[in-house]
Amino acid sequence: MSRSIGRQSVLSSINLQVGESSIVAVIGPNGAGKTTLMECIAGLQPHAGIVEIEGSAVAPGLRNRHIFYQPDQVLPYPDHGVYSTLLFFQSMLLSGKERLEEIIDRLKLEGVLSKSAKELSRGYQKRLLIAIGLLSSTPLLLLDEPFEGLDIKQTREVVSILADERAKGRTLILSIHQIIDAQRIADEFLLLSQGKVLGGGSLDYLRQQAGLSEGNLEDVFVALT
């Protein structure tokens, strides 16, 4: 997959294979192309290349049947109450009431349900966006910066929730710029820099690519840059 704007290459020859019931973290600094890649996969930006699901190419306009993409910092209906917003998405995404209550409980949103979305702190806004993504039933969920604005405890709670989604058979692609958060949750990684792939695969495989016998994901990223 490639994406250019005018003469500028934003993504260059990105090849990403994602297995079922897995979590893949797309890692890179700001400006690496993470969000652009997510939007291309979701069919929201024009691009060269194809997206295949279960061996068949899927046109951009049909990808929402298989993929739900939750962008970062795009707050829906900021003047509306949190609970009314969640009820709207529950209805639109054909999710059950029990599922909604479960998500509210696990993301600890009970105390802010009567507030408008724009009144929420950055952390609660992020939890609201994650809740909307979880209400979808698509087999592939894309979350842009799911841990941005969360403290350490909240991040661990969201990690547990997303791991449970994987255990239920769902596949997740997460755009993450904090390497420690990515290593905490992902099965495989795609390392990006300036729209190009530095490496991809499991941590063990990335160590081999980087020529390291040991080391964490940060060590690998530094070695490959």
* Whether 164 and 221 share a structural domain: yes
* Whether 147 and 223 share a structural domain: yes
* Whether 120 and 199 share a structural domain: no
* Whether 59 and 103 share a structural domain: no
DSSP-assigned states of every residue in the chain: -BEEETTEEEE-S------TT-EEEEE--TTSSHHHHHHHHHTSS--BS--EETTEE--GGGGGGTEEEE-SS--SSTTSBHHHHHHHHHHHTT--HHHHHHHHHHTT-GGGTTSBGGGS-HHHHHHHHHHHHHH---SEEEEESTTTT--HHHHHHHHHHHHHHHHTT-EEEEEES-HHHHHHH-SEEEEEETTEEEEEE-HHHHHHHHT-SS--HHHHHHHH-
130's tokens = 């994650």
* Whether 123 and 164 share a structural domain: no
* Residue-number span of the structural domain to which 114 is assigned: 75-137
**Which whole-number Å values give the CA distances from 97 to 65, 67, 89, 91, 130, in the listed order?**
21, 22, 11, 9, 17
Q: What is the CATH number of the domain that holds 180?
A: 3.40.50.300
pLDDT tens per residue, range 142-153: 999 999 999 999
pTM to 2 decimal places: 0.93
pLDDT tens per residue, range 177-186: 888 889 999 9
Q: What is the pLDDT of residue 5?
A: 85
Length of the chain in terms of residues written: 225
* Whether 124 and 144 share a structural domain: no
Series of mean pLDDT values for 10-residue runs along the chain (225 residues): 88 91 94 93 94 92 95 92 97 95 96 96 95 96 94 93 96 93 93 94 94 93 92
Indicate the number of domains in the chain: 2
* Whether 225 and 168 share a structural domain: yes
* Whether 215 and 111 share a structural domain: no
* Whether 81 and 41 share a structural domain: no
d(CA 184, CA 187): 9
* Whether 91 and 186 share a structural domain: no
